[in-house]
Amino acid sequence: MKDKEKQKTHPRVPILPLDLEWIKSIRVNRSAVERRADTLGKRRTVKKEWQAAWLLRAIACMDLTTLAGDDTPGNVVRLCAKARQPVRQDLLERMGVGDLGLHTGAVCVYHNLIAAALDALEGSDIPVAAVSTGFPAGQIPMAQKLEEIGASVKAGAQEIDIVISRAHVLRGEWENLYEEVVSFREACGPAHMKTILATGELATLTNVAKASHVCMMAGADFIKTSTGKESVNATLPVSLVMVRAIREYYERTGFQVGFKPAGGIRTAKQALDWLILMKEELGNDWLSPRLFRFGASSLLTDIERQLEHFVTGTYSADYRHPMG
Amino acid sequence: MKIKDLFETMEYGPAPESRDAADQWLDAHQREFRLFINGEWAPPVSGKYFETVNPANKEFLARIAEGGPDDVGRAVAAARQALPHWAALSGHARARYLYALARQIQKYSRLFAVLESLDNGKPIRETRDIDIPLVARHFYYHAGWAQLRDTELAGYREVGVVGQIIPWNFPLLMLAWKIAPALAMGNTVVLKPAEYTPLTALLFAEICRNAGLPPGVVNVVTGAGETGAALTKHEGVDKIAFTGSTEVGRIIRKATAGSGKKLSLELGGKSPFIVFEDSDLDSVVEGVVDAIWFNQGQVCCAGSRLLVQESVAKKLYAKIRARMEKLRVGDPLDKSIDIGAIVAPVQLRTIEELVRKGVEEGARLWQPSWACPAEGYFYPPTLFTEVSPAHVIAQEEIFGPVLVAMTFRTPAEAVQLANNTRYGLAASIWTDNINLALDIAPQVKAGTVWINCTNVFDAASGFGGYRESGFGREGGKEGLYEYVRQTVEDAFFDKPVVLKKAKTQSRESGIAGMPPVDRTPKLYIGGKQVRPDSGYSLPVYGPDNLLLGEVGDGNRKDIRNAVEAAHAARGWASATGHARAQVLYFLAENLAARSAEFAGRIAGLTGCSPEDGQREVDASVERIFYYAAMADKYDGHVHHTVLRNVTLAMPEPIGVMGVICPDESPLLGFLSAVIPAIAMGNRVVAVPSESFPLSATDVYQVLDTSDVPGGVLNIVTGKQEALAKVLANHLDVDGIWYFGHQAGSQMVEHDSAGNMKRAWVNHGRYRDWMNPAHGQGEAFLRQATQVKNIWIPYGE
């Protein structure tokens, strides 16, 4: 796949020194951000073939996720099968993309399900991502967090979704946040690290922007909005602030950090809004799984229904699409 | 395109809004529209039609009747005939009609949006998401004012038949801004849409009929400039409301001078967009997009002058250029474009010409790498940096997608640059520091100030200009006063109201056997008594032709000096209302202490009885008290606009005002004219009564003892008409009041057009100054102020 080639030519984001002056200079005007976020999906839209192609792209950028207390190898295996074949082959063929090898960006599970997922995904290009560091609240000792990362990497997870200590942000302890995330990154080793800010618990957009920058300096491969467990998860204004931070970081350092909105993205229309956001604010580089992931569980079903509608011209039903 | 390829390229494809319904509507009218007069479609008397075309592809859309003077006459007659019934309806009944219009607009919102986009070339996103929702909101809001007029505006009535001339940049929105308040206040309307964009007004006419609006209440006469001129000149019209260029506004100001027509003008602009170094620059960039690439930059309040603090200029320019590269210009009906077509080839040529000029002058031009569609009238977004105020592109309104950028070093310099323009429509201020924002907002000469946002509108907020951007407000409570008259005006007199002469007349007494000590009143300028530049004096005679003394014969140089002194006293404008009140109370106190002397003077000048003289002095003291009381109570509103923000409607002083005082009631007339202006923070150059100037010159001694700062009130005696003309023409005078005869009123209104100063004249209708209903009140304060709306969004 082209994405793989690209990955080779792009150096991994390094850990850079913490620049507190930079953090101090960050300004975010909430009303203006909300106004832009509100018009993004009104200034752009995609229809017909373009929409179908964009929805397929959304699937390629999806971390198909299950993060529940009652997860067992049984439902995780089912999910992995869906990740390998996210859309019915007949529909793909009618769209002329039967040979695209379409699959989701990753499968995202708790540590205990890594092995089951790896088994089920064997032979595919699909990485397993594990949430870590006391997900979702992160209220456990630091040593245990580092151990958890190490265990997951050892178990074969190629991507680790860590949660930051919200307290560091709320108390303005940027050095502490930086050190925490640097430790996580070091513990991740070769595995790519997605840093979950839990923006719904950070109180202000300015905090979101500052935390984004600190995490990027600390070597986050991705910054991610939410665990999906906060009362407010991925929103467009929050995402706009984070992707602008990524842009600023890229302009200043030349390093491309990825973005992962997670939680609450359930419809194909929402997925398109986020793709538009990425294309407008960051450009096409950020429309690939290398730099963009949706954290989602139910989104795929809606996209499948929309794709069937595109192919057949009639509205679809969810039971017509194999469940994950 | 193959989906497989699109999956790789991730391009935007075409996303056209259907135009079928609009085409069907045009076809149902055989693509030919007559005039809407008295609820019927009437052919133009001349039989002439013109064509309206789609600027995006030059296609013919429809033939439109060209209304001539006869057609205007018929429309005005219909409006006149409809007026008594419409005005006599209860506010509630009018509210029902306006409510019905609002609902109709919502029911046909997409048809309006598509039609507007076809006719004007603006993006469907803007008509769909901005124009049409604002139109509906305007009618809803004013349905409320119709309901409330009789209670909330007690003492006011409708103006009558209103002629309204609207521009092509926001065809239906400008129609709404004109028609909704006019109807709500009980007026009937003859509307002339712009020749390039008549279609939505015609659809609106149809909707008026569907809503059961009585015939003649709204008439639509299509045509070009001559049609508008005919409407402006028509004697049956009681008010003209115009939105358009300053050039045409000036013509209308002159044409309506002396006619007694009320006038409101919303004209051009070159609005500053001020960026301080502590602002959220990514949000600033989107603000710039909204400021100058909204509606192809064809926006009177477009933020077309970018003023950036030097420390962040380079960074901001880079961000703006990157953003410009992502803008999409193209088919206005495509839902994925940002910038549509320029309305007409003539406008496109103007833009091209000014851009060429900018390049010639040495400014640095930047345009995106992509090309505009070749078919139709398109122009790419354009940024000029390294621009100086001396460049033509920094001063002239381009009315296109062209932004000119300059830098500043300090907040004070930002204000200077912002105000270095003849216009004063709007301003946008970007900073995360509320102290700075609220410090700058009052200093910028503009009717609307947007903090950290731009081009946001709402029916509840007044919109209108300072300086040559026009006068009057549209929207908010302040906008209603353009469409009402005080009922008390009906009781004004055709002749001056003078005091009865007493049987025996008083004489100023001296010491027996000695000649009186000569008193030589001088001019009073900048807090000093000065001799007139001419070196001449004018005799002042009493009622029996007895020479009472002389006053200085002021001339144009004295006016010049007085205006400069008034400008120097600018601190008065920022003094607190309380401080101004204290000075005025002190003035009243000192006047009261010398009341016998002032009463004697009035008697001596007019021949009235000493008791009448005393009554006038008492009334004068009370009048000063009234305005002292109002100085810290005539305040603004916080408007209920639909954004999460505080919209402050602040009355600000006009600035430096010329006041040509009445020739009756020597003391009371003088004070009634000048005190309200001063109370609101204006600085005044007063020309006292030519017949009785001595009461005014006596006042300056009281001013001296009352802590009135020098330059706040300047008194130039002399020949009133000549001095009035100098003041009316003076380009650094911001407002002028005239309380004389009809010919003088006409001259003042006519000559005020030079800098579009606010002119308030009496058209030879005289007040009884002793009657508080005539001689004082909020009407004076409203004329002494202009409302600035400051939008302050909040939320961390």
Gap between the Cα atoms of B629 and A292, Å rounded: 65
Structural domain boundaries in chain A: 3-311
Closest residue by Cα to residue B427 from B598, B270, B583, B568: B270
User: Residue B293: its pLDDT value, please?
Assistant: 98
Residue B69 has pLDDT above 80, yes or no: yes
String of DSSP letters for A223-238: EE---S-SSS---HHH
3-state DSSP call for residue B108?
A: coil
| Residues A272 and A236: beta-carbon distance below 8 Å | no
For B45-71, b/e burial (b = at least 16 CB within 10 A) is beeebeebbbbbeeeebbbbbbbbbeb
CATH topology for A3-311? TIM Barrel (3.20.20)
**Contacts with B326 from chain A: Cβ below 8 Å:** 280
User: Residue B545: its pLDDT value, please?
Assistant: 86
User: Residue B519: its pLDDT value, please?
Assistant: 79
Q: Which tokens is B492 given? A: 């004004």
Portion of chain B with pLDDT greater than 70, in percent:
98
**Average pLDDT of chain B, as a whole number:** 96
∠B79-B85-B90 over CA atoms, to 5°? 125
What is the mean predicted confidence (pLDDT) over B102-124?
98
Full-model pTM: 0.96
Partner-chain contact A53 B6, CB within 8 Å: yes
Give the model confidence (pLDDT) of B263-272 as tens digits. 999 999 999 9
User: Which of the four pLDDT bands, split at 50, 70 and 90, describes residue B510?
Assistant: very low
Gap between the Cα atoms of B769 and B496, Å rounded: 10
Gap between the Cα atoms of B353 and B177, Å rounded: 32
Q: Which of B125, B452, B793 sits opposite A43 (nearest CB)?
A: B125
What is the ipTM, given to two decimal places? 0.96
The C-alpha of A88 sits at a distance from chain B's nearest C-alpha, in angstroms, of: 16
> At which residue do the structure tokens 């990027």 appear?
A216
How far, in Å, are A28, A102, B442, B503, B678 from residue B431 at the CA level?
10, 47, 15, 70, 33
User: Residue B423: its pLDDT value, please?
Assistant: 98
Give the model confidence (pLDDT) of B545-598 as tens digits. 889 999 999 999 999 999 999 999 999 999 999 999 999 999 999 999 999 999
Contacts of B267 (CB under 8 A, 6+ apart): B243, B244, B245, B246, B249, B300, B423, B425, B465, B468, B469, B470, B756
3-state DSSP call for residue A7?
A: helix
- In this structure, the dihedral spanned by the alpha carbons of residues B692, B697, B701 and B702, taken in order and rounded to 10 degrees, is 50
Contacts of B679 (CB under 8 A, 6+ apart): B580, B581, B584, B627, B628, B630, B631, B634, B781, B784
Which parts of B121-170 fold into alpha helices (H)?
124-126, 132-152
| Residues B287 and B452: beta-carbon distance below 8 Å | yes
Gap between the Cα atoms of B166 and B192, Å rounded: 6
**Which site among A1, A43, A236, A238 would you substitute to test the B interface, given the most B Cβ atoms closer than 10 Å to its Cβ?**
A43
Gap between the Cα atoms of B545 and B288, Å rounded: 68
Region label for B407, one of left (φ > 0), alpha (ψ between -120 and 50) or beta (otherwise): beta
**Contacts with B15 from chain A: Cβ below 8 Å:** 45-47
Q: Is A246 on the interface with B (CB under 8 A)?
A: no
Tally of CB atoms within 10 A around B533: 17
What is the mean predicted confidence (pLDDT) over B64-91?
98
Portion of chain B with pLDDT greater than 90, in percent:
96
What is the mean predicted confidence (pLDDT) over A94-100?
97
Chain A residue with Cα closest to B793: A31
3-state DSSP call for residue B220?
A: strand
Gap between the Cα atoms of A292 and A286, Å rounded: 6
User: Which of the four pLDDT bands, split at 50, 70 and 90, describes residue B504?
Assistant: low
Gap between the Cα atoms of A169 and B346, Å rounded: 57
The C-alpha of B73 sits at a distance from chain A's nearest C-alpha, in angstroms, of: 45
Contacts of A35 (CB under 8 A, 6+ apart): B286, B290, B453
User: Which residues lie across from A159 on neighbouring strands?
Assistant: A129, A192
Partner-chain contact A33 B645, CB within 8 Å: no
Residue B332 has pLDDT above 80, yes or no: yes
Region label for A172, one of left (φ > 0), alpha (ψ between -120 and 50) or beta (otherwise): left
3-state DSSP call for residue A71?
A: coil
3-state DSSP call for residue B196?
A: coil
Residue A11 has pLDDT above 90, yes or no: no
3-state DSSP call for residue B154?
A: coil
Residue B516 has pLDDT above 80, yes or no: no
Closest residue by Cα to residue B734 from B560, B567, B576: B567
Gap between the Cα atoms of B367 and B320, Å rounded: 11
The edge-to-edge listing of strands for the beta sheet with B303-309 is: B364-366, B382-385, B402-408, B303-309, B271-275, B426-430, B448-451, B785-793, B645-653, B637-639
User: Residue B499: its pLDDT value, please?
Assistant: 77
String of DSSP letters for B34-102: -EEETTEEE--TT--EEEEE-TTT--EEEEEE---HHHHHHHHHHHHHHHHHHHHS-HHHHHHHHHHHH
Residues of B with CB under 8 A from a CB of A: 1-4, 6-15, 125, 129, 278-284, 286-287, 290, 326, 335-336, 338, 432, 452-453, 643-645, 793-796
Helix B171-184 and helix B109-120, axial crossing angle in degrees, nearest 10: 130
Give the model confidence (pLDDT) of A267-287 as tens digits. 999 999 999 999 999 999 999
Which parts of chain A fold into alpha helices (H)?
2-9, 20-24, 30-43, 48-60, 73-84, 89-94, 114-120, 142-155, 166-170, 174-188, 205-217, 236-253, 268-281, 299-312
Q: Which of A29, A45, A244 sits opposite B15 (nearest CB)?
A: A45
| Residues B154 and B368: beta-carbon distance below 8 Å | no
Q: What's the full length of chain B, in residues?
A: 796
Give the model confidence (pLDDT) of B659-695 as tens digits. 999 999 999 999 999 999 999 999 999 999 999 999 9
Residue B206 has pLDDT above 60, yes or no: yes
Region label for B484, one of left (φ > 0), alpha (ψ between -120 and 50) or beta (otherwise): beta
String of DSSP letters for A291-316: TB-EEESSHHHHHHHHHHHHHHSS--
Contacts of B716 (CB under 8 A, 6+ apart): B523, B525, B552, B554, B558, B559, B562, B685, B686, B687, B723
Catalytic residue among B195, B266, B478, B616: B266
Gap between the Cα atoms of B346 and B341, Å rounded: 13
Chain A residue with Cα closest to B339: A43
Residue A208 has pLDDT above 70, yes or no: yes
**Contacts with B9 from chain A: Cβ below 8 Å:** 284
Task: Count the alpha carbons within 13 Å of A161 in the hemisphere toward its beta carbon.
Answer: 34
Gap between the Cα atoms of B395 and B421, Å rounded: 7
| Residues B562 and B687: beta-carbon distance below 8 Å | no
**Average pLDDT of chain A, as a whole number:** 96
Residue A54 has pLDDT above 80, yes or no: yes
The C-alpha of A108 sits at a distance from chain B's nearest C-alpha, in angstroms, of: 24
User: Which of the four pLDDT bands, split at 50, 70 and 90, describes residue B544?
Assistant: confident
**Contacts with B432 from chain A: Cβ below 8 Å:** 27, 29
User: Which of the four pLDDT bands, split at 50, 70 and 90, describes residue B515?
Assistant: confident
User: Residue B507: its pLDDT value, please?
Assistant: 55
String of DSSP letters for B318-386: HHHHHHHHH--B--TTBTT-SB---S-HHHHHHHHHHHHHHHHTTPEEE--SS---SSS-----EEEES
Gap between the Cα atoms of A30 and B9, Å rounded: 33
Q: Which tokens is B629 given? A: 């009381």
User: Residue A2: its pLDDT value, please?
Assistant: 46
How far is CA B773 from its chain centroid?
26
Q: Which tokens is A89 given? A: 């082959």
How far, in Å, are A75, B707, B728, B750 from residue A70 at the CA level?
9, 83, 84, 84
**Helix (H) / strand (E) containing B435:** helix B434-440
Gap between the Cα atoms of B757 and B471, Å rounded: 8
Q: Which tokens is B796 given? A: 């961390």
Instruction: Please enumerate, as own/partner, the contacts of B632-635 that have beta carbons within 8 Å and a separation of 24 or more.
Output: B632/B576, B632/B577, B632/B578, B632/B580, B632/B581, B633/B577, B634/B679, B634/B680, B634/B778, B634/B781, B634/B785, B635/B577
Partner-chain contact B280 A33, CB within 8 Å: yes
- Which of the residues of A are catalytic? 161, 224, 260
Q: Establish whether B266 is a catalytic residue.
A: yes
Partner-chain contact A31 B4, CB within 8 Å: no
Q: Which of A28, A95, A97 sits opposite B280 (nearest CB)?
A: A28
User: Residue B506: its pLDDT value, please?
Assistant: 54
User: Which of the four pLDDT bands, split at 50, 70 and 90, describes residue B500?
Assistant: confident
Q: Which tokens is A29 given? A: 């005007």
Residue A1 has pLDDT above 60, yes or no: no
Partner-chain contact B3 A49, CB within 8 Å: yes
What type of residue sits at position A235?
T
Q: Is A97 on the interface with B (CB under 8 A)?
A: yes
